Amino acid sequence: MYLSTLFSDFSRSYVQKIIDRWQVQVNGKTFSKNLKINNRDEILIEALVEQLEEIEPEDMNLDVIYEDEELLILNKEAGVNVHPVPWEGGNSNTLVNWVLFHCRNKLPTIGWVNRPWIVHRLDKDTSGAIMIAKQDWMMKKLQEDLKNRTNIKKYYLAVVHWVVKNKNFTIESFIWRDKNNRLKMTAMDPLNPKIAITHWEVIDYIENKYTLLKLKIDTGRTHQIRVQLASINHFILWDNTYWNSKINIEIKTRYQLKRQALHAYELDLELYWKQQLFTAPLKDDMKRIIPGELLKMI
C-alpha cells in the first residue's frame, strides 16, 4: 500500500509482483507483504533499474522549445505518457523512449544504461512545456528549485465549464489519492493529504458558457489543477476522470477535442544565473475551441 501510493504510476498488483520476486528490500532484508513500514526505514527497489533497462530508444519528431548540452524543453503532445508504465505495451511510445533516441549517448548513465532525467511530469492527456535534464547537476538544481518553490514558475492554460466570476483567485487545499479509487485524486478526505496551491486569472469567456483561465501552480501534485477546479464545479472541458463524459459530447462533436483542455503554456525559470521565459504554443485541438481574437490576448 505504501509503495503503490508513493509511485502513482505503479498499480498495487505490479508492486505485489516485484515484492514476490524479491526485488524490494527494507533495511537490507527481503520481506513479506505484511511488513509494516516505520519512519526512517530504508527501502531499496531493484525493479526501477531493471525496468529502465527494458526501455528502447524510438524515433519520433519532437517539438523542441529549447535545447543545449544540459537541458531539453519540449512541447509535449497530448495522449503521450511521459514515463513507461507497468502494463502490456507500456514500455513504448513514451516521451522517455523518444528522448533516448533524440539525445543518443548524450545522457548520464546508470548501470551502463542511458538515463533521461524527467524533471517534472505532465498527465498523459495534458500537452505543453516539460523539462528534461541531460546532466545530473542540472537535474539536482531544478529539483531543488521546485522543492523550495524558488526560481521556477509554471503557467497553464485551461478551458473550463461555466463562467468563472472571480477574475483572480487562489485555491489552497489538501489533495491526494481517493480512498475508494486509487486512480483518482481528491480534495475530499484524501489519503495521505498534501497541500496544493493554484492561482488563476480569467483571460476571457467563450460564448458565455466557458472560461479561458491562465493558472500558476506553486505545488506540483498529481492532477492538481484538474482536481481543484473540479472541487469548485469549474471542470476542465473533456476531463473524463473528474467530469461526466456525456456532458462533453458537444465539445467532442463541435471541436473534435478528445482530451482535457489543459496545456502547460509557460516556464519561467532561472537558467545560467538569469531568469528566462519559455513558451509552448497551444496545440491545434485546443486552438479550435478558442476564438482567434482571444488567442491574440494570451
Q: Which pTM value belongs to this model? A: 0.82
- The residue behind cell 498495487 is 12
Which pLDDT does position 15 carry in this prediction?
A: 81
Say whether pLDDT at 5 is over 90: no
Which pLDDT does position 53 carry in this prediction?
A: 52
Q: How far apart are CA 141 and CA 217, in angstroms?
A: 19
Higher-pLDDT residue of 138, 106: 138
Which pLDDT does position 114 carry in this prediction?
A: 59
Active site residues: 123
The answer to whether domain 1-53 and domain 149-298 are alike in fold is: no
Banded model confidence at residue 107, pLDDT cuts 50, 70, 90: confident
* Domain 56-148 listed as CATH 2.40.30.170: no
Chain length of the chain? 298
Provide the CATH topology of domain 1-53: 3.10.290
Which pLDDT does position 3 carry in this prediction?
A: 84
Higher-pLDDT residue of 195, 7: 195
Pick the CATH number of 149-298 from 3.30.2350.10, 3.40.50.300, 3.10.450.200, 3.30.1330.40: 3.30.2350.10
The pLDDT of 88-103, averaged and rounded, is 88
Q: Whole-number mean pLDDT of the chain?
A: 88
Q: Residue ranges per domain, the chain?
A: 1-53, 56-148, 149-298
Tens of pLDDT, residue by residue over 171-221, are 999 998 888 887 799 999 888 899 999 999 999 999 999 999 999 999 999
